[in-house]
Amino acid sequence: MMSLKIFFSLSILISCLISSEQLYENLSSNQIERLNYLSDNIRCPKCSYGNISSSNAPISKDLKNEIALLIEQGFTNEEIFQKMQDRYGSYILLNSIEDEKMPIYLIPLIALIISIFAVTTYTIKKSK
């Protein structure tokens, strides 16, 4: 009796979270792959970190469902990224390379090249 009661309350608690009856059943395997790609590269807007495929927040599941729906309706990846960006801002795109981000790609590379070059020339000079 006790366990039945617990089960009842548990199922209410857990099923509170569900948002959609569908679970991407209509998608082809190619579309599933796109869904995985998209949800790996969109940040969960409610969480502080992590993408929507790795978070348990309800909003992530909603977004994943919405993306699945958009894929089904024939939107391309770029259009879906754009839609998400329009709604939540560019912070939720995880794979974008904007001009603003160039410094963090360039600084380490430049530092690497300069220091290897400097150390090597200095060593050659010293060893003579």
Calculate the alpha carbon distances from 44 to 32, 51, 120 in Å. Answer: 19, 5, 45
Phi, psi torsion values for 56, nearest 5 degrees: -100, 5
Among 24, 31, 72, 75, binds other proteins (CB under 8 A): 24
- Smallest CA-to-CA distance from 73 within 34, 17, 45 is with 34
Near other proteins by CB under 8 A: residue from 26, 28, 36, 76: 36
Point out which residues bind other proteins (CB under 8 A). 3, 6-7, 10-21, 23-25, 32, 36, 41, 43, 45-51, 53-54, 56-59, 61-63, 66, 87-96, 98, 100-101, 103-105, 107-108, 111-112, 115-116, 119-120, 122-124, 126-127
